[in-house]
Amino acid sequence: MLRRLAVFVNSFSRGHESAYLPNSDQPKSSRTRHVKFYKVGVGSRIPAILADLSSWTPPLCQRPFLCLSAAMLAKVTVFVTACLAILGSALPSQKRQTQLAQVITSCTKPNSVALTFDDGPWVYLYDVSKALVAANATGTFFFNGNNYACIYDPDSVKRVQYAFDHGHQVGSHTWAHRDLATLSWDQIHNEMWLVEQALQKIIGVVPALMRPPYGSYNDLVRQASFIRGQKVVTWDFDSQDSIGATPTQSKAFYDDIIAQHPSTILALNHEVYDTTAHDVLPYAIGKLQAAGYNLVSLSECLGLPAYQSQGPRGVPDSTWHC
């Protein structure tokens, strides 16, 4: 086991990160797939994981190339996730991760409304953002990687950056809008990892919140989300724009929920519909604000961080494709 870990750490410490990236030309073994899937989102649990592995420290550090220096601390996440991946593949009979990600269905800050928008980035994002900003409101966009368009297309990149640069929150809606509850463990991680990698390249962030397509999830999805450091988000109000509601019907749904005046609202909308962006949203913003609600980002209405990490943006290269 230590020899296998040594090979990985020695390779990675010499800068061979490309050996474990999804676009590598090397064979995609089960183990390298797990390294790719797990490498993002474990940061919040590194101290606990390292504590569990503390009994291995003396033998590791008897070998100089395995003693992590300060310069390598930034790579600890990948090292630890490699350990987990190798353990997982070497011991298939052991129980899989049983801790489940929290499922969020509503806001917690009184008098707040989170207007969320799924399935983009799409052409109406600009108008959605402008309507929100004009009303001093903030929205939350849950982006796919390859749904209505490829997230790496130049126009899509501009949309993602525009939303982020105008103060809106960005979250994961997974890669291809597949029903996660129907997928295998590796498929779930792949759907999550690909869009996380894209967002990290395009705007330099790793999202802390993930909305499963169709609001569909099971314990396997929650286990994967927990490993990736993310919470699962659904909603408590649906404008029903994605299931055929007319603008008049969607407005009536907003009227009904406002008349009930709950303490908070976590609203589901879709930025990919012309009528949502240009008809329903302006109406909803006016009605909600007239009712005294504050229109804030999802992280604001929850009192939680929007991102696991923020860093520099990437530069487009040959890996920016779907």
Active site residues: 118, 270
For 26, phi and psi rounded to 5 degrees?
A: -75, 160
Question: In angstroms, how far apart are the furthest CA atoms of the chain?
Answer: 71
CA 204 to chain centre: 12
| Residue among 166, 19, 170, 151 nearest 82 (CA) | 19
Is-contact 138 295, C-beta < 8 A?
A: yes
At residue 206's C-alpha, the angle toward residues 210 and 202, to 5°, is 110
> What's the rounded Cα separation, in Å, for the pair 158 and 222?
31
Burial of 176 (0-12, 13-18, 19+ CB in 10 A): middle
The H-or-E segment that residue 281 falls in is helix 281-290
| Residue among 17, 7, 27 nearest 77 (CA) | 17
Grouping H, G, I as helix, E, B as strand and the rest as coil, residue 228 is coil
> What's the rounded Cα separation, in Å, for the pair 137 and 259?
21
For 46, phi and psi rounded to 5 degrees?
A: -55, -45
Which CA distances in Å does 116 have to 39, 143, 170, 183, 295?
28, 11, 10, 25, 10
